[in-house]
């Protein structure tokens, strides 16, 4: 065959599609495999089908060990966000070859620490880690709706990171001139000054936590979010309007709660 540049170009494009096709198929193969690894396959399948989220709970925390604390809270929170919202998020991750995952793990409380890590979002793995602690006297300290809502706030932020970067200036303008305090967030908090501006002390750490704690408050129904004279209210309005554009089919999911 006579070599021609046009043919070469077409071949390159085909090769690229073939590679992408393989990656896409592998993603779903992994999803099926991981679902099969769960203690309760049907439950994991239900969550994957209705919310687009892969559940990894090989130890059965949600279905056996701490069931009374957990599975109902998980469903409650996922429903508050809505299937359309979460499927929209998961397809944003799928478009970059990642499967949005909730991974449930046991963890030891760190000795000497006054706070326990309950949730974490790893953006590279597109995975929310929810930790269970056995605290002896107080029993199992497990998943709470606010923790799941907080992490889903981070998931949302990273799914639309460029959009959130573009509203950064408008959002922090509502912070009454207060700068984020980084690791000094707790000492920066003054209830009298900040409660109408930030959802909780941890909100003062940085922009990402400010946003995640608003999601947490939406789930818990707490704080001055509903006070239309407070700056916090207008921060939530900005998030709602932004997400209405990012996820138009979901009518901003969790933010419907804010409007009611």
* Long-range contact pairs involving 245-251 (C-beta distance under 8 Å, separation at least 24): 245/163, 246/88, 246/159, 246/160, 246/163, 247/84, 247/85, 247/88, 247/89, 249/84, 249/88, 250/82, 250/84, 250/85, 250/88, 251/84
Q: Which is nearer to Zn ion, 102 or 212 (CB)?
A: 212
Q: How many residues bind Zn ion (CB under 5 A)?
A: 2
Q: What is the DSSP letter of 1?
A: -
Smaller CB distance to Zn ion: residue 44 or 211?
Answer: 211
**Exposure of 174 in the CB half-sphere (CA atoms within 13 A):** 24
Query: In this complex, which beta carbon is closest to Zn ion, that of residue 35 or of residue 148?
Result: 148
Closer by beta carbon to Zn ion, 39 or else 120: 120
Figure out which of the listed residues 100, 147, 159, 212 binds Zn ion, where binding follows CB under 5 A: 212
In terms of Cα–Cα distance, which of 56, 25, 51, 29 is closest to 40? 56
Site for Zn ion contains 128 (CB under 5 A): no
Q: Of 26-34, 129-137, 204-212, 224-232, which part binds Zn ion (CB under 5 A)?
A: 204-212
Determine, following the binding rule CB under 5 A, whether residue 130 of this chain makes contact with Zn ion. no
Which of the ranges 99-107, 167-175, 180-188, 212-220 carries the binding residues for Zn ion, by CB under 5 A?
A: 212-220
Least Cβ distance, residue 2 to Zn ion (angstroms): 60
> Which H helix or E strand runs over 57?
none
The stretch near Zn ion (CB under 5 A) out of 89-97, 108-116, 203-211, 231-239 is 203-211
Which residues is 106 bridged to in the sheet? Answer: 132
Q: Give the shortest CB-119-to-Zn ion separation in angstroms.
A: 8
User: Which of 44-52, 59-67, 201-209, 238-246 is the region at the interface with Zn ion (rule: CB under 5 A)?
Assistant: 201-209
**Distance between CA 118 and CA 70 in Å, rounded?**
13
Instruction: Pick between residue 25 and residue 125 the one whose CB is nearest to Zn ion.
Output: 125
Residue at shortest CB range from Zn ion: 212
d(CA 67, CA 93): 29
How many CB atoms sit inside 10 A of residue 213's CB? Answer: 24
The structure tokens listed for 100 are 């949005």
| Strand partners for 120 | 129
Give φ, ψ of 156 to 5 degrees. -65, -45
CB of 98 to Zn ion, least distance (A): 19
Residue the block writes with tokens 């818990």: 220
Which span (6-14, 173-181, 210-218, 238-246) binds Zn ion, by CB under 5 A?
A: 210-218
CB-nearer residue toward Zn ion: 34 or 209: 209
Chain contacts with Zn ion (rule: CB under 5 A)? 209, 212
């Amino acid at each position: 065959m006579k070599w021609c540049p046009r043919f070469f170009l077409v071949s390159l494009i085909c090769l690229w599609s073939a590679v992408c096709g393989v990656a896409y198929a592998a993603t779903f193969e992994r999803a099926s495999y991981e679902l099969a690894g769960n203690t309760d396959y049907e439950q994991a399948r239900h969550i994957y089908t209705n919310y687009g989220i892969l559940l990894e709970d090989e130890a059965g925390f949600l279905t056996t060990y701490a069931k009374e604390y957990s599975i109902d809270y998980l469903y409650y929170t996922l429903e508050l966000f809505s299937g359309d919202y979460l499927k929209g998020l998961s397809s944003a991750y799928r478009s970059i070859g990642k499967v949005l995952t909730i991974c449930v793990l046991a963890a030891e409380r760190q000795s000497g620490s006054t706070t326990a890590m309950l949730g974490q979002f790893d953006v590279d793995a597109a995975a929310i880690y929810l930790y269970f602690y056995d605290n002896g006297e107080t029993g199992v300290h497990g998943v709470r709706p606010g923790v799941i809502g907080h992490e889903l706030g981070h998931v949302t932020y990273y799914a639309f990171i460029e959009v959130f970067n573009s509203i950064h200036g408008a959002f922090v303008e509502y912070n009454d001139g207060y700068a984020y305090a980084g690791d000094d967030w707790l000492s920066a908090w003054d209830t009298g000054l900040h409660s109408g501006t930030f959802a909780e002390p941890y909100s003062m750490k940085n922009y990402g936590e400010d946003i995640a704690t608003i999601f947490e408050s939406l789930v818990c129904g707490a704080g001055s979010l509903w006070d239309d004279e407070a700056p916090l209210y207008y921060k939530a309005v900005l998030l709602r309007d932004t997400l209405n554009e990012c996820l138009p089919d979901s009518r901003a999911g969790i933010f419907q709660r804010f409007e009611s």
